[in-house]
A and B are shown apart, each in its own frame.
Chain A
Amino acid sequence: MRRGLAVFDWMTGMIGLSLLRFFRTVQRIGSFALITVGVGITKIFVARRVIFPAVQQQLARAGVRLLPIIGFIGAAVGFMIIGPTLLLLSQVGQVGLTGDLLAMVVVREVAPVVAALVVLARVGTATVVELGTARALGEVETLESLGIDPIHFLVVPRVVGLTVSVMALTVYLTLIALGCSWLFALVTNLPYPFAVYFGYIASALEWYDFGLIGAKTATFGAVSAMVVCYHGLAQPVRIEDVSAATTRTVAQCVVAFGLIDALFLIPNLMLWTRH
């Protein structure tokens, strides 16, 4: 009995410590995010000829250069997941569910999460390494000594770049996945003429879906950028700590994506149920 109580004590202690650590991390990243937003707003007209090209560079890096991989994943989702689902729906005589199913699963859930994960994997991790190394080599101190605000110069372009990129890549991923699934239907002679197929999806989507998807993808992008920049820049890092910071970043971003997705699922479900 006493041994059981000790184990219970130990377990609740561990859970409590983990929760405290979680809330402390959220608080720190939240403070960092607030500072970044403050700097971004107050310095919106400062050094535009330096910051705007840096934003463009981040957009090219996190957006344009990821188009091939997003195209590949979109095609894979279209041909290997949605296509067979269409086949199954037509076999069980539930073609009428196509629109609701694809709107719910692909447009609202899979595409935003996959786009955010791809950006995190390809750009987020590289950015932590880049910023962490720069920090360890004294870039922040150098910028400060030149009177350049490191948040404005290093973080703001990355936050804007990652946020816009996740939003744009979600659109491309959705279109490519749906386009490829229609091609699958065409090749396999399923009863989905072009207009009918996209008509199903269009009729399942409401105007608020676009707002919610936009808000969700922007939140994914902004949160991952904040976590990435926080771990790369806001903490004193030695060269040997960079790999651990990268691992932490990925884990925290994945958890954050899950929580954000759950948060957005509530209005989605409420509106969908009413619809």
Chain B
Amino acid sequence: MIQLQDAALAPTVTGEVPLRNISWSVQRGEWWVVTGPPSCGKSALLQTLGVLHPVSQGELRLFGRTISSTMGDELAAIRRGVGLLFEGGGHLFEHSTVFENVALPLRYHHDLSLDDAAEQVRPTLEACGLEGIAGQALRHVSRALRRRVALARTLALRPEIMLLDNPAGGLDPGQIRWWRGFLSQLHAGHPLFDQQPMTLVLATDDLRPWLPFGQQFAMVRDQTLSQLGTREDLRGRHAKLLAQLLAEDLR
């Protein structure tokens, strides 16, 4: 579903290339956990996979299509197939309600009124545990639940791949439990997606909450992406690194 071939990410405003020489492929139904210290380029990697930034070298292919040769409506369609949850949830519209925030992308792409969108948005709100606060203005919603609103908004478009940037960062244990449970449901096949397993790529500073859940692991350090393999590989071949990762917490 995602293929990066000898790719380098676009330079930042300071001219630094966060990651280079990435050759990586993500298959349908996989759950990748990408770890690494803060500001090492994980977010830039996810935003590149979410087609917000181009690769400066090499090639990015999504759903079998090369992104550099894709433009306009086709590019917008590819973007809709990739759900990107920014760190902290991303920008939400403060003056709108939770329901209006979640319904926005659906209304925009399908030209729906608020009433027409309600039927399609309700299951997403229920899945994310937001049905009780759907009518609340966003400014009255707690920080932890805002992140769920952002998740629901992304899921409303029914993407095939979810890219999640540090979804559990700064949350209390109860919220982290919810995220782990919900993402593992998505990965196993959630009723919202007709029980189809979803492809997940999750970036995190702290590997510990996700170690029992991820299928494949990778690490970003020193401008490179190292593929560490499965959980078994981590515990076997990379036992020393794993111990270091779990002890250091990379922060």
Output the residue of B52, B86, B105, B108 with the most chain A CB within 10 A. B108
Chain B residue at minimum C-beta to C-beta distance from A134: B91
Tell me whether B108 and A50 are in contact (CB under 8 A): yes
> Does B113 have its Cβ within 8 Å of any Cβ on chain A?
yes
The one of A138, A141, A142, A148 that contacts B108, using a Cβ cutoff of 8 Å: A148
The one of B80, B82, B91, B153 that contacts A137, using a Cβ cutoff of 8 Å: B91
Chain B 30-55 near chain A by CB (<8 Å), digits 1 or 0:
00000000000000000100101000
Tell me whether B91 and A138 are in contact (CB under 8 A): yes
The one of A46, A138, A139, A148 that contacts B105, using a Cβ cutoff of 8 Å: A148
The one of B52, B80, B109, B154 that contacts A141, using a Cβ cutoff of 8 Å: B52
> Does B20 have its Cβ within 8 Å of any Cβ on chain A?
no
Chain A 32-59 near chain B by CB (<8 Å), digits 1 or 0:
0000000000000011111000000000
Considering only residues 155-169 of chain B, those with a C-beta below 8 Å from chain A are 157
Chain B residues whose CB sits within 8 angstroms of the CB of A144 once the complex forms: 52, 79
Chain B residues whose CB sits within 8 angstroms of the CB of A47 once the complex forms: 107-109, 111
Chain B contributes a number of interface residues (CB within 8 A of A) equal to 25
Chain A residue at minimum C-beta to C-beta distance from B163: A145
> Does A266 have its Cβ within 8 Å of any Cβ on chain B?
no
Tell me whether A146 and B153 are in contact (CB under 8 A): yes
> Does B76 have its Cβ within 8 Å of any Cβ on chain A?
yes
Tell me whether A141 and B153 are in contact (CB under 8 A): no
Tell me whether B107 and A147 are in contact (CB under 8 A): no
> Does A241 have its Cβ within 8 Å of any Cβ on chain B?
no
Q: Tell me the smallest distance from the CB of B102 to a CB of chain A, in Å.
A: 11
Query: Given A47-B109, A134-B91, A137-B91 in contact, is the A147-B79 Cβ separation under 8 Å?
Result: yes
Once the chains are docked, how many angstroms separate the CA of A55 from the CA of B82? 29
Once the chains are docked, how many angstroms separate the CA of A149 from the CA of B76? 9
The one of A48, A141, A153 that contacts B111, using a Cβ cutoff of 8 Å: A48
Chain B 100-114 near chain A by CB (<8 Å), digits 1 or 0:
000011011101110
Tell me whether B111 and A49 are in contact (CB under 8 A): yes
Once the chains are docked, how many angstroms separate the CA of A49 from the CA of B79? 22
Once the chains are docked, how many angstroms separate the CA of A142 from the CA of B85? 9
Chain B residues whose CB sits within 8 angstroms of the CB of A134 once the complex forms: 91
Chain A residues whose CB sits within 8 angstroms of the CB of B108 once the complex forms: 47, 50, 146-148, 153
Tell me whether A49 and B90 are in contact (CB under 8 A): no
Chain B residues whose CB sits within 8 angstroms of the CB of A138 once the complex forms: 86, 90-91
Chain A 141-177 near chain B by CB (<8 Å), digits 1 or 0:
1101111110001000000000000000000000000
Chain A residue at minimum C-beta to C-beta distance from B46: A145
Once the chains are docked, how many angstroms separate the CA of A236 from the CA of B53? 14
Chain B residues whose CB sits within 8 angstroms of the CB of A149 once the complex forms: 76
Which residues of A are in contact with B by a Cβ distance under 8 Å? Answer: 46-50, 134, 137-139, 141-142, 144-149, 153, 236
Sampled A-B contacts (13; CB under 8 Å): A47-B109, A48-B111, A50-B111, A141-B90, A141-B91, A145-B50, A145-B84, A145-B86, A146-B153, A146-B157, A147-B77, A147-B157, A148-B108
Name 14 extra pairs, CB < 8 A, besides A145-B86, A146-B153: A48-B111, A50-B104, A141-B52, A141-B86, A142-B86, A144-B79, A145-B79, A145-B84, A146-B104, A146-B154, A147-B79, A147-B105, A148-B105, A236-B13
